[in-house]
Structure 1
Amino acid sequence: MRAGSNLPAVGGYNQAVILDAVRRATEGVSRIEVATSTGLSAQTVTNIVRRLIHDGLVMEAGTRGNGVGKPRTILRLEPGGRFAVGVHLDPSVITLVLLNLAGEVVAHRTLKTTPEARASRTVARIARAVSELVTRSGVDAERIMGVGIAAPGPIDTATGVVLNPPLLTGWHDVPVRDELAAALGLPVILEKDVTAAVIAELWMDTAGERTDTAFMYCGTGIGLGVISGGEVLRGFSNNAGDVGSIIVGDISSEVEGEDSTSRGRLGWALSPRLMVDHAIEDGVVEGDAATMTIAEVAAAYAQMLRSDDDPRVARFVDAAVTEIARAMLILVNLLDVDHVVFGGPYFAPLSEAVLGRVPDLVMGSPLYRLPHEVTFSESTIGEDVAAIGAACLVLDDILSPRPQAFLIGR
């Protein structure tokens, strides 16, 4: 049975449509241009724009001549009208950002993740860090719309609970959303980290070029976010994106000390700890990968890949490129995207090799089935893409037009 139309929501929807039109017009837009692009009447646009200016979300920014007739007043987004906080809970580091309406980072902070600390204690640390971030930024706290938190899956978005992430010891059924909301007195949204990352790509895409995109996140774990038809694919339980189990290598050979349930899978092949372990065996770096903390693994990984003229390192990079290409061939055929974006803190050292070779390996394969080319690129957002995406969750939830708002809840 179809749900009915919730007519009082139409006004809010139209406001979001207009705000979205102004946000995407990076060079500014007139009221008549907004009316033309949205299909709304000039009077509706005028009334709503008046309210947006009063609320500090939109500003008038001069005039623009258009041939004969009166110059048109140009509207622009007021970046400082509202702000959102984003938090990325990663097994190696907690990243916090403060974004304005334009998606610009106005404040940034990192905290070292303490694996042995109780989850409730870590949540309390995050709450204090958010308050300090806002205070030090000088932003009026009344302009903070909320907090988005990106966490490793699996999560329960309905209840705001982090369920059982494999690399966060002790994080079992943690009500992180409600605990943060109670501590901060702000709305909090919980999302899977790779989903947050792809939302950042979509939010920053003012030109509308990311309608069908796959985002491969290379962090402590491997994940894939997907945009299809301009919408983010979350899955039935909002936990889509775990591609670490895709088989890209040999699963038959026995290697001493390696887990047979992980061997040959993408998450295993691209594991920083595994690559560091092999680098230690080959004498590229020193240490014991089995006893290293996640932060120590990250440092050794970066050190290893800086030796790009070492033939031993070249073998690691070649293997990573091959595994990524095998995975992307499967994924682009499956998803029929036209753009693949790579990002995350562990991708930058591999960027040149991956972007230089993976496109040919994928599209040159006899198994490539798409009737169009796929563009491969690196995210321009940077390694904090998940934290920025967490803040974009708040911006998107509040400011983006959603037809679902018309439906009466059952």
Structure 2
Amino acid sequence: MGDFNQAVILDSIRRSEAGLSRVELAGSAGLAAQTVSNICRRLLDTGLIMEAGKETSGPGKPRTILRLDPKGMFAVGVHIDPATTSFAIVDAIGTVLLAREIPTDLAGPPDAAVGAMGGIIRTLITESGVEQGRIAGVGVATPGPVDAASGAVVAPPHMPGWNRVFLRDILAEETGLPVVMDKDVTAAAVAELWTGTTGCASNFIYVYMGTGIGAGLVLGDEVVRGSSGNVGEIGHIITDPDGPECDCGRRGCVKVTCMPQTLLAEARSLGLLPPAESPNPVARPDELALLAQLAADGDEQATGILTRSAARMSGAVSALTNLLDVDQVVFGGPFWPALSEIYLAEVPGHLERYSVTNDVHSVSVVGTRVCTGEEAFGAACLVMEKTFGPSAGQLLLDPKPQR
């Protein structure tokens, strides 16, 4: 209970841009004033929060404002994509201090590639000048599926040979730091919560437009992960029964109608883009940006590819919004900027037609608040969530008490 209360206080302070006084914290958290005072004293002693001046409101003594101390804690983020792996060091208020990006090594043994990532993390920490004792951990965002219990990635698409690679253990050994691992779509949803304020939606679906497409889920301001940590695998939702055949044996799945690789292949077949350099190329955001530019310049075929993609994606997303009764759909990921103009124009209308809750509430469609190119920031937010985020799971007793 003590850990949960501390997380509630930290989360309340984090969400307030102006900071909060102890009196305001007691009111918002529903805790006794003495409990709040004890927690704040402990957080001040450890350097996680700081006193940021006084504020006068009405009669009585001025109230001391508390804010997160940017230098109180740091996190390292690692985002693994089939094309690139990105790294970032982030402070307690979400400022990216240092970032780096390398091509993902798919040619050599996966264990060796992950070990090399550990070396890059150590180098970044040294270059940043941050004391290792102030780094709370390393967050790793990876394509799914994952085995959350063992900290392994399990045969992700487009990453041949990466079957049961124990990312968490390898990086923990290489860096000497705690490691949190999660799916890239889940990390993106965590980052969306982390950058949001108390006024943002508490229930939303995050649609991640990366090399693959997945969905993260937030209900009641908490990220939902599912029984194995693999919530949001939407690649085989059918969006067009007459569409191309999928490797699952059915037709028109998200995987073969909406993924960037599919859109680029269609553009090449129409002569809109140069031929691919390899038989099964991994899609790149700059290529999709070229297709989007053609559409913006009035090319009807390019516009058709992206408009059909938006309509198909809307069908898949509407199945989720109707099932889960959320208030918002957030699109993001490395390929989102190229799709954003047409998707934001097309998807809201489709969802309104497909929604069964129009008479009760609308479902808004927005783009992510996290800057493109900062996917490693989302991975670092996994560490922030573990440190700052109050979770109802913290209140559960161990079902298997130690004897």
Q: TM-score, normalised by structure 1?
A: 0.91
Q: Which residue of 2 aligns with 1:279?
A: 267
Q: Which residue of 1 aligns with 2:168?
A: 177
> Residue by residue, what CA displacement relative to the aligned partner does 1:280-313 show, whole Å, maximum 9, x if unpaired?
2222111236525426x44433322222222221
Q: What secondary structure does 1:209 align onto?
A: coil
Q: Which residue of 1 aligns with 2:118?
A: 127
8 A contact 1:344–1:382 mirrored in 2 = no
Q: Distance in 1 between matches of 2:17 and 2:330?
A: 23
User: How do 1:136-215 residues align onto structure 2 when only pairs under 5 Å count?
Assistant: 136-215=127-206
Q: CA deviation at 1:369?
A: 4.2
Structure 1 portions without partners, runs of 5+: 1-9
**Corresponding letter in the other structure for 1:56:** G
Q: What secondary structure does 2:47 align onto?
A: coil
**Corresponding letter in the other structure for 1:313:** A
Q: 1:264 to 1:406 in 2, by over 3 A?
A: closer
Q: Distance in 2 between matches of 1:280 and 1:253?
A: 16
After TM superposition, the structure 1 stretch with the greater mean CA deviation from structure 2, 340-349 or 329-338, is 329-338
**Corresponding letter in the other structure for 1:332:** T
Q: CA deviation at 1:22?
A: 1.4
Q: CA deviation at 1:382?
A: 2.1
Q: Which residue of 2 aligns with 1:77?
A: 68
**Corresponding letter in the other structure for 1:264:** G
After TM superposition, the structure 1 stretch with the greater mean CA deviation from structure 2, 64-73 or 262-271, is 262-271
**Corresponding letter in the other structure for 2:34:** Q
Q: Which residue of 1 aligns with 2:371?
A: 382
Q: What secondary structure does 1:380 align onto?
A: coil
Where do 4+ consecutive residues of structure 1 move more than 6 Å?
Answer: none
Q: What secondary structure does 2:71 align onto?
A: helix
Q: What secondary structure does 1:86 align onto?
A: strand
Q: Which residue of 2 aligns with 1:307?
A: 294
**Corresponding letter in the other structure for 1:63:** K
1:241 aligns with 2:222: no
8 A contact 1:344–1:385 mirrored in 2 = no
**Corresponding letter in the other structure for 1:400:** G
**Corresponding letter in the other structure for 1:159:** S
Q: Distance in 1 between matches of 2:273 and 2:391?
A: 51
Q: Identity of paired residues, percent?
A: 41
8 A contact 2:204–2:330 mirrored in 1 = yes
Q: Distance in 2 between matches of 1:14 and 1:97?
A: 29
Q: Distance in 2 between matches of 1:321 and 1:162?
A: 30
Q: CA deviation at 1:170?
A: 0.7
After TM superposition, the structure 1 stretch with the greater mean CA deviation from structure 2, 259-268 or 349-358, is 259-268
Q: Distance in 2 between matches of 1:36 and 1:253?
A: 56
**Corresponding letter in the other structure for 1:354:** Y
**Corresponding letter in the other structure for 1:29:** L
Q: CA deviation at 1:356?
A: 1.4
Q: Which residue of 1 aligns with 2:50?
A: 59
**Corresponding letter in the other structure for 1:61:** A
After TM superposition, the structure 1 stretch with the greater mean CA deviation from structure 2, 219-228 or 319-328, is 319-328
> Residue by residue, what CA displacement relative to the aligned partner does 1:175-226 show, whole Å, maximum 9, x if unpaired?
1100110110000011111111111112222315231100000000000011
Q: Please, which of 305, 309, 313 is the counterpart of residue 316 of structure 1?
A: 305
- Aligned-CA RMSD value: 2.0
Q: 1:337 to 1:387 in 2, by over 3 A?
A: same
1:113 aligns with 2:104: yes
Q: Please, which of 245, 252, 255 is the counterpart of residue 267 of structure 1?
A: 255
Q: TM-score, normalised by structure 2?
A: 0.93
Structure 2 portions without partners, runs of 5+: none
Q: What secondary structure does 2:338 align onto?
A: helix
Q: 1:260 to 1:292 in 2, by over 3 A?
A: closer
Q: Distance in 2 between matches of 1:182 and 1:239?
A: 25
Q: 1:311 to 1:252 in 2, by over 3 A?
A: closer
Q: 1:281 to 1:184 in 2, by over 3 A?
A: same
